[in-house]
Amino acid sequence: MINKKVIVTGGAGFIGSNLVQYLVANNYEVTVVDNLLTGHLSNLESTYDNLNFIKGDIRDFELIDQLMKDIDTIFHLAASVGNKRSIDFPLEDAQINVIGTLNVLEAARKYNVRKIVTSSSAGIFGELKMIPINENHPIDPDTPYGSTKLCQEKLCLSYSKLYNLEAVCLRYFNVYGQNQRFDAYGNVIPIFVYNIIHDIPIKIFGDGEQTRDFVHVNDVVMANVNAASSHKISGAFNIASGESISINELVSILSSLTDKKVSVSYLNKRPGDVMHSLADISLAKKNINFTPSTKLLEGLREYFTWASDFYKK
């Protein structure tokens, strides 16, 4: 059981805002740090009056240092996210994911924070050698993003060995759900849904037979909470649904949720995109009691409804 004083970096972002909503609803004392470059204050509209919001950047050590006194747990979600973004902006990717994480860790060490739960990525694995992917799968990232997230993991775990700081690294696969907005660098689900709502043809890079393991944001939130509540647990864990579908199947499901005719075009495969993805989540289930509960059809229907309402505003 964690005490009620926590920090959420990147708390105005997609996953962070959903985590903050859960924490506030369960009476945690929450401080959110976000520079709002990719996060949005509107994501915190329902919780803003019940938290401490700091507009700031994790690359600013003095700011982070000032916030850590008496903190029990850090949920570290602030990041530069995405393979394509990291290829376009590799220096920024490294500054945020590596130096920013070091700032958080140094401040945590200084003030004896009990635990850090950091958001990692399946991008650390690179092109897959076996399916399903367990935590011992060879690590060979294909992009700066995968490399910096791996460095972030290693930094957190090394601090857990050197100091009195527990560190759990959650390797997210393809997360989707409410508050996830259209972003050309983002997840395929919000891009496809945005295009369908706005009558824009869907572009698939490759033949569409590539597979992905999609996990709902509510399940990711519980993974974070369970990881923080775990007693003397440090390590890296896959966070996914444990099931995969092809991109073509995804388009078929999304098409079934609308009366619109969905147009699809196929383009060349992009550099850095893996062909198949499917997670073994047994280690997370054993160590942090992670059991995803949202089925894909249910989650997609919920997200389609949220996005349809959001883009009408």
Contacts of 168 (CB under 8 A, 6+ apart): 115, 116, 117, 118, 227, 228, 230, 233, 234, 235, 236, 237, 288
DSSP string across 168-195: EEEEE-EEE-TT----TTS-HHHHHHHH
Catalytic residue status for 145: yes
93 phi and psi angles, rounded to 5 deg: -55, -45
Residue 281 burial (CB < 10 Å; 0-12/13-18/19+)?
buried
Residue in 145, 172, 176, 303 annotated catalytic:
145
Residue 12 bridge partners (DSSP):
none
Taking CA atoms, 140 is separated from 96, 127, 136, 145, 240, in Å, by 21, 7, 12, 12, 20
Q: Check residue 112 and give left, alpha or beta (phi > 0: left; psi -120 to 50: alpha).
A: left
- Please, which contacts does 96-101 make with residues 24 or more away whose CB atoms are closer than 8 Å? 96/58, 96/59, 97/145, 97/148, 97/149, 97/151, 97/152, 98/148, 98/151, 98/152, 98/155, 99/59, 100/57, 100/58, 100/59, 101/58, 101/76, 101/151, 101/152, 101/155, 101/156
To the nearest 10°, report the CA torsion of 264, 132, 222, 109. Answer: -110
On whether the CB atoms of residues 63 and 84 are closer than 8 A, the answer is no
State the catalytic residues.
145
